[in-house]
């Protein structure tokens, strides 16, 4: 289940679009054979995400998306039995301010940028990390764009 928290005033994406996106995110989780889960999708402003970015990454500037896994450490995803118990995977935090400026800069619809960021954050929660190596980055971004293309065809 994907829970949505629009925690900022400038969030103006339709409920219908959000429902379609979260349904698609559920599909991605099922692709990874995850049946009992919870993910929080939080929309905020640049000020809030800047504070989180500084506190957890040591970077004192806003970013587009942060993911906070509840499954960290050496155990890894394979050590959990997703069949029998609900697992809280974590939180995906998206700055609406940065999302809007990136969509404008890249000349893409705001909804497309939102989908890209949500999928990106979800892949992080699933264990993908583009900062580990170039190979890992290629794998993650290829998967991200594959899912994004699939989602955009559904619209």
pLDDT in tens, 120-144: 999 999 989 888 888 888 999 999 9
Q: What are phi and psi of 42, to 5 degrees?
A: -115, 130
Taking all residues of the chain, what is their mean pLDDT, rounded to a whole number?
89
Q: Where are the domains of the chain?
A: 2-154
CATH of domain 2-154: 3.40.390.30
- Rounded distance, CA 61 to CA 123, Å? 23
- Rounded distance, CA 155 to CA 146, Å? 15
pLDDT in tens, 9-27: 888 899 999 999 999 999 9
Q: Which of 84, 79, 57 is nearest to 68 (CA)?
A: 57
Please state the pTM of the whole predicted model: 0.88
pLDDT in tens, 55-108: 999 999 999 999 999 876 544 455 555 556 677 889 999 999 999 999 999 999
Sign of the C-alpha dihedral, residues 148, 20, 128, 106?
A: positive
pLDDT in tens, 76-86: 455 555 556 67
């Amino acid at each position: 289940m994907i829970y949505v928290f629009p925690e900022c005033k400038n969030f103006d994406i339709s409920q219908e679009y959000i429902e379609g996106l979260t349904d698609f995110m559920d599909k991605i989780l099922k692709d990874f054979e995850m049946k009992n889960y919870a993910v929080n999708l939080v929309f905020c402003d640049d000020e809030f995400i800047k504070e989180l970015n500084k506190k957890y990454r040591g970077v004192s500037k806003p970013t587009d998306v942060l993911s906070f896994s509840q499954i960290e450490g050496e155990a890894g995803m394979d050590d959990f039995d997703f069949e029998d118990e609900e697992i809280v995977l974590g939180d995906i935090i998206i700055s609406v301010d940065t999302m809007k400026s990136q969509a404008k800069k890249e000349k893409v619809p705001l909804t497309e940028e939102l989908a890209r960021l949500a999928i990106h954050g979800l892949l992080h929660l699933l264990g993908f990390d583009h900062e580990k190596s170039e190979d890992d980055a290629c794998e993650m971004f290829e998967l991200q764009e594959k899912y994004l293309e699939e989602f955009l065809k559904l619209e």
